[in-house]
Chains A and B, each alone.
Chain A
Amino acid sequence: MILYTPLSYQEIFPEEQGTGNEIQAIEWQGRTVFVSKNNNGNYQINQLISSNPNDYLNPEFLPGRIIS
Chain B
Amino acid sequence: MRMDTDENENQEEEENESNNASSLVEKIQQLGQANVPQAPDSNIHVLSIIGQVEGHLQLPPQNKTTKYEHLLPQLIAVEQNPKIEGLIILLNTVGGDVEAGLALAEMIASMSKPTTSIVLGGGHSIGAPIAVATDYSFIVPTATMTIHPVRLTGLVIGVPQTFEYLDKMQERVIQFIVDHSNIDSEQLKELMFAKGNLTRDIGTNVVGREAVEYGIIDEVGGVKEAIKKLNHMIQSSKPKLEEEGTA
Contact = CB atoms under 8 A, between A and B. Distances in A.
Interface stretch (B7-15, B132-140, B147-155, B179-187): B147-155
Interface stretch (B94-102, B212-220, B228-236, B237-245): B94-102
Given A6-B125, A8-B200, A1 B70 contact: no
B159 interface: no
B31 A2 contact: no
B3 interface: no
Nearest to A7: B94
Contact of A6 (B44, B55, B201): B201
A8 B201 CA distance: 10
Interface string A1-30: 111111111001110011010110100000
Contacts of B31: 59, 62, 64-65
Contact of A4 (B62, B63, B98): B98
A68 interface: no
B109 interface: no
Interface string B42-63: 1011110000100111011111
Interface of B: 26-27, 29-31, 35-42, 44-47, 52, 55-57, 59-63, 70, 74, 77-78, 87, 94-99, 101, 124-126, 146, 148, 150-154, 166, 169, 173, 198, 200-201
16 contacts: A1-B56, A1-B97, A2-B150, A3-B97, A5-B94, A6-B146, A6-B201, A14-B62, A51-B45, A51-B46, A51-B74, A52-B45, A53-B42, A59-B27, A62-B30, A62-B36
5 nearest interchain CB pairs? Answer: A5-B95, A64-B30, A51-B45, A4-B125, A4-B126
